[in-house]
Amino acid sequence: MFFRVFVASLLLIAPIASAAPREVISTSNDIQGDTASIMGRQGFSWNDLGCFADTNPIRALNGGLMLNSPTVTITACLQECNRRGYSYAGLEYGQECYCDWKIRGNPASVAKSQCNMPCAGDGSTTCGGSNRIQIYVQSPAFPAPTVWNPSKLVGCFTNPVRRTLRNFQYIPGQMTASKCYAACGEIHAFHAGLEYGNECYCDNYPGPDSVLTPLSECDMACAGGTENLCGGSNRMLVYNRQL
């Protein structure tokens, strides 16, 4: 019965239809200075927000490491985040690219000169620094991710040592809430749960140590479709397949 609890107010949340990827066209030299932007084909732009300290337990951009290679450029990072439907892009350590739909943990703004590592794929530009992330935002932003199917949602739960749902399901390709829900149906599990944007778990009954938390703590977009939420860091978004 515990997992049949449903917060009525969540019924007001409606899923947003997936938007077509918006490709950014530019060269890396188009971004120079604090006010520069890259224009997209449909009137969207990327704006440089500056350099930020990335030293909190939760990364400033926590949608996942999208690129990490000796060919990373600013443009390549922005294009990848744009393709995946993220409004924020960040570069760090000269060759790391991160994406997210929001900035997390209120990172401190620091001098632009601290983001001083040359981009691995274009030494004429900089791509963050050591524990320093260079952040860009797309305008207008993509819609924020929402609950996939509110009528089936139980809620957001802590995920202690004895996991909320125990049976991990490998989902080929990019994770979405609907794929996880379907995978749990194939093994006739009562509940489906998503965590950290790209993990799917199934079980008939919840672990005894899980605690219901605010839905706002399950705030990571699905890796395979950023229009929906797929849990969070040590937070599992749980659906009841019997509702």
Task: Give the pLDDT of residue 21.
Answer: 28
CA dihedral sign of residues 1, 243, 238, 62? negative
| Long-range CB pairs of 23-31, under 8 A, 24+ apart, other chains included | 23/79, 23/82, 23/83, 24/75, 24/78, 24/79, 24/82, 26/75, 26/78, 27/75, 28/73, 28/74, 28/75, 28/119, 28/122, 28/124, 28/125, 29/124, 29/125, 30/75, 31/74, 31/75, 31/125, 31/136
Each of the 243 residues of the chain gets a pLDDT tens digit; together they read: 333 333 333 333 233 233 322 223 232 333 333 223 343 335 678 999 999 999 988 899 988 777 888 899 999 999 989 888 899 999 999 999 999 999 998 999 999 999 999 999 999 999 999 999 999 999 989 999 999 999 999 999 998 877 889 899 988 768 999 999 999 999 999 999 999 999 999 999 888 888 999 999 999 999 888 899 999 989 999 999 988
Task: Give the pLDDT of residue 42.
Answer: 56
Task: Give the pLDDT of residue 32.
Answer: 32
Task: Give the pLDDT of residue 53.
Answer: 97
80, 72 contact by CB (below 8 A): no
The single residue listed with the structure tokens 């690129």 is: 67
Question: Which residues, in sequence order, are bridge partners of residue 48?
Answer: 136
Q: What is the number of other CB atoms lying within 10 angstroms of the CB of residue 198?
A: 18
Question: Which residues, in sequence order, are bridge partners of residue 83?
Answer: none
CA dihedral sign of residues 243, 168, 16, 135? positive
How much is the pTM? Answer: 0.75
